A and B are shown apart, each in its own frame.
Chain A
Amino acid sequence: MTDRLHTILLVEDDPNDVLLIRRAFRKSNVANPIQVVGDGEEAIAYLSGQGPYADRERYPLPLLLLLDLKLPRKSGFEVLEWLRQQPGLKRLPVVVLTSSAETPDVNRAYDLGANSYLVKPVRFEDLLHMVRTLNLYWLIINEKPDLVEIELGGNVHE
C-alpha cells in the first residue's frame, strides 16, 4: 500500500466544485488519485467498505478525507462524528473543505475532530493556492497514521 500514492477521498455533492477541485489538483501537479462520493451516506459506505466499495483495489482506503459539510442525506458533521467513533478509521486526517466561514460551523467541525478547516475560495487562483498548500502539508510533510481495515462482520485485520 505504501508504494502507491495515497488516495484522497473527496466528499462533495456539487459537480462544479468537483470539477474545479479536480482541475486545481491537476494544475497543481498533484498526482494522488482522487475518489469522489456525492453524499454523506456514500462516504460512510466507502470508508466502511460496503457494497461496491468492498473492492479495495478499486476503492482503496484514503489517507486524506476532504469533506464538505453541506451534503445530501448525511451532512459532513454526521460523517465526521461517525468516523471518529470507528476504531480502525478514527485517525484518518480530515480536512473540511466547505463554503461556510460561520464560527459555529468551524467550532462544531473541530469539536467533532476535524484536523483542518478550509473555506472554498471563490477565486480559482485562491483555490489553486490552497490545493498546493494542502498537498504540501497534508500529503507530503504530514506524518500519516496507521489505519485498520474493518471487516463487514466486525472482525478486524490489517
Chain B
Amino acid sequence: MNNSPKNPIQSLRNYFGRSIRRRLILGITIVNLFIFTVFMLFIMDRQQSFLHAQSIEQANSLAHALAVNSTPWVISDDIQGLSELIASLTRYPELRYLMILSPQGKVLGHTRNENVGLYVNDPTSQRLMNAEPVPLQLVINRQIVDVAVPIQVNNILVGWSRVCLGQENVRAASENILKNGAIYVLIAMLPTFLIAYFMALGIGRGLHHLVTVADAIRKGARDVRVSLNRDDEIGRLGNDFNQMLNSIVSHEKAINLAHEELEKHKNHLEELVKERTKELEAFTYSVSHDLRAPLRAMEGFSQALLEDYADRLDPVGQDYAHRIAAAAQHMDILIQDLLGYSRLSRIEIKLRPVVLEGVVQEALSLLTPEIQEKSAQVAVERPLPRLVGHHGTLVQVVGNLLSNAIKFVAPGVKPQVRVWAETIADCGLRIVDVRSIQQSTVPKSEIRNAKWVRLWVEDNGIGIAPEHHELIFRIFERLHAVETYPGTGVGLAIVRKGMERMGGRVGVESEPGRGSRFWVELPRSKT
C-alpha cells in the first residue's frame, strides 16, 4: 500500500505502526531485556567489589606476614636472608612484586634482585618516607592493590614491607560474569519473547476478529457477530459490540418498517391526490358543460323575448328581460373566471427561463382595447431582466395586474401605469409549490442560489386600505360594487395562485387615494 519508505526509521515505524501485536511484543521484549541487564550488571558489580575487597585483604595479610618475618633480617641488615625470604613468597598468585624498604627508601629486598640497594623515588613510594608507621593502602584500583605495613621493633620504625597484587583475576572473574550473564539474559529472553508473542497473539487475535466483524457490518452484513470466548477487556468489548450490533439491527428494522409505512402512506396519499384531481376534473368538466347550458337558455330566450315579443312587453317587462340576460352573462363570466382559477391549480407548470419583456408585451397587447378605451398611459422601464417561471402563467399574472391598474381609477382620472423591475437580494425562505420545482427545467440549485427579480406595477388609482391588502388576493373578494368597478374578484386570486405555482411571491404597497404598487417576485435567470 505504502511506497517503499526512504529511511529505515520510517520503515520500522511503518512495520510497528501497522500492528498492535508487533508493538506489544517489542515493548515486552525491551522491558525484559532492560530489567535483566540491570540485574546482571548489579550482580557483576557486587561480585567485583567482593573479589576486590578480598584481594586487598590478601595483600594486607601478606604484607603483615612479610613484615613480621622480615624483622630479624632487617635489624641485622641481612640482604641475603631477605632475598631468600622474598624468593620463598614469589609464587603467590597475582603477585606483582614484594619489597622491603628502609625508612629512608632504600630497597633492602625485592622480588627483582637487581632493584636491591637502589632508592625508590616514585611519588607513591615517597609518601612512605614521611608517613606515620601504620599500615597504608598506597594504590587501590582496578589494575593493582599496593599496600605497605611498617616493620617496627619496640615501636621504632626500621623499614616497610610492601606488597603489590595484580587484579587480573578479579577482572577475569568480572568478564566471566558478564559473558555468562549475557548468555543467561539471552536464554531468559527466549521464554519472555515467547510469552510476549503469545500474549500479543491472544490480544491481537481478539482485536483482529473484532476488526473483521466491524468491517463486515460496515459492508452491510447483519448476521455476523463477534464470537470471543474470553472474559478480559477484549471479550467485554466483543460483548458490548454484539449488544450494540443487536440494537443497531433492531433500530434498522424499526426504521425500515417506518420507512415502509411511510412509503405506504405516501402511495396512499398519491392515490388520494390522483383520485381528488380526477374528481376535480370531472367536477370542472361538469361545471364547464352543464352549468353554462341553462345560462345560454336564459340569455338566448330573454333575447328572443325582447326581439320577437317586443310589441307585447312594456318597458318594465323589457327591463326585466334585459336583467335576466345581464345576470346570465355575469354568471358566465364568473364561471369562466372560476374555471380559469381552477385550471391554474391543475395544469402542469414547467419552470424555464422566461423573457420578461415578451411577457409584458403580450399582456399589453391583450389589454389594448381597455387601454384605448380608458386612454391609459403605460410606461415600461426597460430593459427588463429574464427570470425563471412559466410564460403563459406570467402573462396572465402581469395582464391581471395591468388590467387592475387601469381599471381601479377614480372617475375622470386617466390611468397612468408604471412598470419596472429590480433585482433584490434573496430574503430568506419562500413557500414554494413543490410540483413546479420538481418539474423545472432549470436546475434546482440555480433557483436556490439565484438573485430574485421584483416586478413592480404602479398605478395612480384609488388605492387600497392596509387592512384589505391580504383580503384582495382571495378568490371572489371584492371591495367595490360591480356597478362601480366591474369584475368577479378572481383576478388577484389568479395572480397569487399563479405566483405560488411558479414558486414566486406577490405583494402590494398601497394607501387609499395614493395609488397602488403591486409586485411579483421570481428568481432571476442566468440564461
Beta-carbon contact of A127 and B300 below 8 Å: yes
Beta-carbon contact of B292 and A122 below 8 Å: yes
Beta-carbon contact of A122 and B329 below 8 Å: yes
Q: Does B320 contact A (CB under 8 A)?
A: no
Q: Does B285 contact A (CB under 8 A)?
A: yes
Looking across the interface, which residue of chain A has its beta carbon closest to that of B330? A122
A114 to chain B, nearest CB (A): 16
Q: Considering the chains assembled together, what is the distance between the CA atoms of A151 and B443 in angstroms?
A: 61
Beta-carbon contact of B297 and A16 below 8 Å: yes
Chain A residues near B300: list those with CB within 8 A: 16, 19-20, 23, 124, 127
Q: Considering the chains assembled together, what is the distance between the CA atoms of A98 and B301 in angstroms?
A: 18
Chain B residues near A23: list those with CB within 8 A: 300, 304
Chain B residues near A14: list those with CB within 8 A: 293, 297
Q: Does A123 contact B (CB under 8 A)?
A: yes
Chain A, residues 101-136, CB within 8 Å of chain B (1/0): the string is 111110000000000000011111101000000000
A102-B343, A122-B329 known; A16-B292 Cβ under 8 A: no
Q: Considering the chains assembled together, what is the distance between the CA atoms of A105 and B296 in angstroms?
A: 20
Beta-carbon contact of B297 and A98 below 8 Å: no
B59 to chain A, nearest CB (A): 129
Which range contains the number of B residues in contact with the other chain?
Answer: 20 to 34
Instruction: Name B296's contact: one of A16, A69, A103, A104 (CB within 8 Å).
Output: A16
Chain B, residues 340-354, CB within 8 Å of chain A (1/0): the string is 000100010000000
Chain A residues near B343: list those with CB within 8 A: 102-103
Q: Does A29 contact B (CB under 8 A)?
A: no
Q: Does A55 contact B (CB under 8 A)?
A: no
Q: Does B500 contact A (CB under 8 A)?
A: no
Q: Considering the chains assembled together, what is the distance between the CA atoms of A69 and B290 in angstroms?
A: 11
Chain B residues near A28: list those with CB within 8 A: none
Beta-carbon contact of A17 and B293 below 8 Å: yes
Beta-carbon contact of B332 and A99 below 8 Å: no
Chain B residues near A124: list those with CB within 8 A: 296, 299-300, 303-304
Q: Does A7 contact B (CB under 8 A)?
A: no
Beta-carbon contact of A122 and B285 below 8 Å: no
Beta-carbon contact of A20 and B293 below 8 Å: no
26 contacts between A and B (CB under 8 A): A16-B293, A16-B301, A17-B293, A17-B297, A19-B300, A20-B296, A20-B300, A20-B304, A23-B300, A70-B290, A98-B289, A99-B288, A100-B285, A100-B288, A100-B289, A101-B339, A102-B284, A102-B288, A102-B343, A105-B285, A121-B296, A123-B299, A123-B303, A124-B296, A124-B304, A125-B303
Query: Which A residues contact B (CB, under 8 angstroms)?
Result: 14, 16-17, 19-20, 23, 69-70, 98-105, 120-125, 127
Given contacts A16-B297, A98-B289, A122-B295, 13 further A-B contacts (CB under 8 A): A16-B294, A23-B304, A70-B289, A101-B339, A102-B288, A120-B296, A122-B329, A122-B332, A123-B299, A123-B329, A124-B300, A124-B303, A127-B300
Across the A-B interface, give the 7 residue pairs with the lowest CB-CB distance, nearest first: A16-B297, A122-B332, A20-B300, A124-B303, A124-B300, A99-B289, A70-B289
